Each structure stands twice: as structure tokens, then as C-alpha cells.
Structure 1
Amino acid sequence: MKQLLALCICLFALKPTYSLAQSTASTEKTVVITLNDKSEIRGLLIEEDESKIVIQNDQLGLITFQKTEIKRIARLNDKGWSANPNPTKYFLGQSAYSLEKGDGYYQNIMALFNSVQYGFTDKLSGGLGVELITLSAGNPILYANLKYALPITDKFRMAVSSNFLTLVDEGSIGFLSGLATYGSTEHNLTLGAGYGIAGGGLTSDAVITINGMTRIARRFSLLTENYILPGNGEAVNAFGIRLINKNNTMDFLLLEGQFPLVDFVFKF
């Protein structure tokens, strides 16, 4: 528990440095626009409204794009870093950020568990997954998820998430939770609380989750995931690092006394 408190303090100790840099930087913002045909163009943001965006490109000058032509707008920070491509989740745990409509990602954990998540709207996302060893044995472990997220302010969001997992010869179990995230897509902390679903009802014991991430460099973020069982005083604490690329991430997570876990996430 002391390790958890120490890391939470570190997450927010690092955040003010980032915020100060943002506030003292130039008001000019660089964006990278991905069009529907997957071509990209970079420039300074000049004007934007609900229907169009105008940028200044070094070679082409002023260019106006209709929002209907655009698949994604990546807004670079004052250091020229691309945004975190994977802000909706940590390793296993989720944040209250949601996938945008039409966005999705594929996640592979330890080469065995595979899942796909998709944004049906800017607030509602869902996904399916399967474990490969049980699949090859003809009795697969299957996974399903739905999440509804609601932005409250620029830095505070809330979400409701439901997860279901089929177990070999054990039927199925689920988990229903509420999430509250404070911070940006680069530096945030998420508090969650939920109950298991088994035998047609909710379990009596709650699970508390405290997850966080902070971006420390162009290619690296620190992660923590923590699961607390108030009923018996037990807790599982995990700490890790995220390697960041333009459209994908790779996480290394270390649980206390366990072999490190690895996952790959590819955004599409």
C-alpha cells in the first residue's frame, strides 16, 4: 500500500511540470491531419469550427479541410510529441476516456489473449476477445466488454463499464464497475469501484481499483494498476512502463512477485 501511495504522489508531482510547459508555450498548435484516404498532412492550426479546419503547411500554404474529409486530427504538444494513442486503458484496467467514433484497437497479451475494441459513438465502445490455447482445445475462453463514458469537464470524466468472461467448465462471470478519471490523456489517475456478477446477481464484496499513467518522454509513460479488496484487506499492486509509437503501444507490467506481463496494442 505504501508503494501505491508513493507512485500516486509521483504521478501528480510530474504533472505540474507538464502543465507549466503547456501554459508558457506558444499559442500556435501543430496538428497532424489524417484524411479518409489515410494520407497525412502536418501544419499549424489557424482556424477550426464544427465543419472545417484551416492549417498552415510549410509547402502548400493555407489549406482548408472539411471535417467530413478527415478521419483523425492529432494535436501535438509544445514539444512536438504525438498524443498518447492508447489513453482509454492501462494494461488490464480502463480509464474513463472513450474511443472516438470509428476508432478501434487490437490488443495482444502474452501472445495468447487477443481482443478488439471499437468506438460505436464518441461515448459508447465495446469489444470481444478470445484466448488461443482454449480456442485450439475447442472450449475457448471468451471476453466481452461495453463502456459508456461521459466527459464532465476538460479534465474530469466518468464511465460505466461491464465485462464478461466465459471460463472453461465454469460458466461465465462478469464485472460491473464505475470509473472516474482526472487528468489529461497523457497524465491521469482513475478511481474505480465495482462488483462481480455471478449466479445471476452481484457479489457482496466490492473491488476498488486505482490506476494511473504519466508521460515522461516522447516514447515512454509510467503505469500503475492496483486492485484492492476491502472485505479481506488484500491488494494486488502492479507497476510498469509503456513504449509509445504513433499508432501503437507496448506495455511491460510487473506484479509483485510475478513474472512480467507484456502486451501490444495497435490502434486502427
Structure 2
Amino acid sequence: MSEFAFGNSIGNAYKHSTAVAAHYQQTILSFAHITQNPDNNRFKVEGGQDVLVFLHIQKTAGTSFERFLVRHLNVTHQCKCIFGEKRKMKCQCRRPIGRIWLFSRYSTGWACNLHADYTELIVSGCVNNKLDVREGKRYKRRLFLTTFLRDPIDRFVSEYTHVSERGATWARALHFCGGRLPTPEELPLCFDPDVGWGGVSLDEFLACPYNLAFNRQTRMLSDLSLVNCYNSSAMDAIVRDRIILESAKFNLRQFAFFGLKERMAESQFLFEKTLGLT
């Protein structure tokens, strides 16, 4: 009985997930769409409706890839970048008609919140909404989702080092889901915000059950609305974790491209070949 209930729960959740996919099916082009019909489905910067969207997961070499996108990508209408205060780079990645072709940290800023995840970027409709505002009109777009992944243990250790040595907390990340922010009870902090978390020991880092470093890649690629967002008390923990994992795998298949931190050169080559940017 328990196995049936578990399977049924997954099935019911994916009825919703399939509905979400169908809603975005005409605007999101996956790797499969591109390879099956490259002439029509490759990224076209010359047109007006194609937009590269980068989902930046912490400590996966995302910053390096985003710099490559705005400074070295071989496209007709390249990004125009300037350096502001503290050498922070800001870029305009627009076509001559004013339409934006790159949605990323250096081109649009953290428009959907700091290190926005799949739920914030896509499920909430934030990408299209923000682009409509910036372009001054509601347009139909084709979104090409991209991200970078990394060995999960290496990524976790790298995040711990970043937090411990540099005091990073990403406290400005909002984790918007289901039309609202999580309550303090749903997502407690692991540290005193007035003190920060710099110098935290590995044991302390591991001991906090609310540490978002755990399974960060899976969570950021999943549709958290399937599991009541950050309200973990409303569902069996095993079922919840399984739905999050299956959702992340399902969503990753909708991406136009994902690279691996451990294979940067090959990933860059595959990215350019897949999207026709060579």
C-alpha cells in the first residue's frame, strides 16, 4: 500500500509538471528540439524573439561562463560592456531593434532575484515579465535555457569554503515560490544575520538542517511548487525529496544546454555547436 501511495503521489505531481511544460512548450526550446530540427530551432540572435537564459547555480563555474557569454561569444550583435564601481561589469546585450537576446547576471542583472532558480525564473513567468517591462511591450519569445553543473560533493565543499573564508551567505536571495516568499518558519537561517557565517566550521556547516547548500543543484532545477514550496511539513520527506529529484531531471531535459564545470573546454565547444554560434 505504501509503495502504491508513493507512486501515486509522484504521478499526481507530474500531472501538474506536465501542464507546466505544456504551458511553456511553445516558448522553451530544448536540446532535443534543436538537434531534431536545427535549421528552425537553433538560436538566432539576428531575429527578434530568441533569448538565452542562464540559470546560475552557485559554485559551478557559472561566473566564468557568464563572462564568456558577454565578452567572447561569436554573435552578430555582441554585448557592449562597461565597468562600474568596484570593477563590476554591466552589459547591454540587445539587437539593433532594442530587443534583449541574453538574460543573465551581467546583461540584465539579478532581475528575478539573486541566483534565481527554475521556480523563480520559469514557473513564475519572471523572465518573460521582466523582458516585457524592459522592452516596453509584450512579445512572444523563444527561450533557450542554459546552466552549468558540477560534481555535487566538490560543489558543496567549494560552497563551504566560499562561506567560511569569504563570508558569503546570499542573504538577498528571496526564494520566491507559489506567489510569495517563504516564512521564517519554513526557511530558518543557519546564522545570525547581524554576525554572518564567516569562519564557520565544517561541522557547524553540516549540522544546520536548513542549509541550502545541501542538494542545491537539484533544488534549483526543480519546480518547487510541486512540493508546497518551502513548506516541508505538508508532505512526507521521502516523497518530497523524490518529487524534487524527478522534477529536476524532467526540467533539465527542457534545457537547450547544460555544461559541466569539470569539462569547461568541451562544454563551451558543445554549447557553440548546439546553438549554432560557431
Q: For CA contacts below 8 A with separation 6 or more, give which structure has more relative contact order.
A: 2
Structure number with higher helix proportion: 2
After TM superposition, the score normalised by the length of structure 2 is 0.26
After TM superposition, the score normalised by the length of structure 1 is 0.26
